[in-house]
């Protein structure tokens, strides 16, 4: 296994491993097709919103992304960078990656753009089924979880995140999507900026309750 790219994660400066990450970490992996549009937006918005809520870089939370047909080494699409700038998020230093077994093995939570991506991740094995959701599916499940049942933030974001994934997995069979399309984030690749912005808004709306549940802090108004 190769060492992860330290520039992709957000950590807290705690005691670290040889890879430079805190020993107690929780990895979120965002997956789309090319890893140049949807998953980079979702990765960088997740980091941005966590930092907004907590005022720190994650407390052991590591946020990454990859693509099932990833454009290895490619830059983020220019329209995706613009969407991130709209939200005040940082797009610098991003490099596309193809989804590898090691990414799935290391991930504590995999959030995909579509059901097809979810199926591809699960088909890779590594007991990924219980920790892989579409982004919108995970949002729907998280909304149904009582925050009082999660560990308080004083116990750390990592403990809270692990409990959140367990609770969401337990609810999956009970809270089904109203339609098949309800769990999809469509691909804006090659589309004009207004469509990219609409996808950015969808991702923002889906991420907001997730980050609130992870951090125990609502968005600043």
43-55 exposure pattern, b = at least 16 Cβ within 10 A, e = fewer: bbbbbbbbbbbbe
> Cα separation of 192 and 194, whole Å?
6
The pLDDT value given to residue 23: 53
- 37 contacts 84 by C-beta, under 8 angstroms: no
197: helix, strand or coil: helix
Residue 21 parent element (H or E): none
Per-residue pLDDT of the chain (221 residues; tens, 9 = 90+): 333 333 344 433 333 332 344 458 999 999 999 999 999 999 999 999 999 998 876 678 999 999 999 889 999 999 999 999 999 999 999 999 999 999 999 999 999 999 999 999 999 988 999 999 999 999 999 999 999 999 998 899 999 999 999 999 999 888 787 887 899 999 999 999 999 999 999 999 999 999 999 999 888 65
> Cα separation of 28 and 61, whole Å?
8
CA angle 135, 137, 142 (to 5 degrees): 95
> Cα separation of 98 and 70, whole Å?
4
- 36 contacts 84 by C-beta, under 8 angstroms: no
Q: Closest by alpha carbon to 78, among 196, 202, 201, 204?
A: 196
Instruction: Estimate to the nearest angstrom the gap between the alpha carbon of 184 and the chain centroid.
Output: 15
Instruction: Estimate to the nearest angstrom the gap between the alpha carbon of 29 and the chain centroid.
Output: 5
Q: What is the pTM of this model?
A: 0.89
């Amino acid at each position: 296994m190769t060492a992860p790219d330290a520039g992709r994660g957000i950590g807290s400066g705690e005691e670290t491993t040889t890879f430079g990450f805190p020993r107690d970490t929780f990895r979120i992996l965002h997956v789309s097709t090319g890893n140049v549009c949807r998953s980079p937006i979702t990765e960088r918005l997740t980091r941005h919103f966590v930092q907004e809520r907590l005022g720190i870089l994650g407390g052991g939370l590591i946020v990454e992304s990859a693509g099932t047909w990833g454009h290895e080494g490619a830059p983020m699409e220019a329209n995706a960078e613009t969407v991130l700038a709209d939200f005040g998020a940082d797009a610098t230093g991003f490099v596309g990656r193809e989804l590898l077994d090691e990414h799935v093995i290391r991930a504590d939570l995999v959030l995909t753009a579509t059901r097809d991506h979810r199926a591809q991740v699960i088909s890779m094995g590594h007991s990924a089924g219980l920790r892989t959701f579409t982004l919108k599916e995970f949002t729907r499940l998280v909304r149904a979880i009582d925050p009082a049942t999660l560990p308080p933030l004083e116990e750390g974001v990592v403990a809270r995140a692990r409990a959140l994934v367990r609770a969401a997995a337990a609810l999956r069979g009970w809270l089904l999507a109203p339609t098949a399309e309800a769990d999809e984030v469509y691909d804006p690749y090659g589309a004009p900026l207004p469509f990219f912005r609409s996808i950015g808004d969808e991702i923002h709306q889906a991420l907001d309750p997730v980050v609130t549940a992870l951090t125990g802090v609502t968005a600043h108004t």
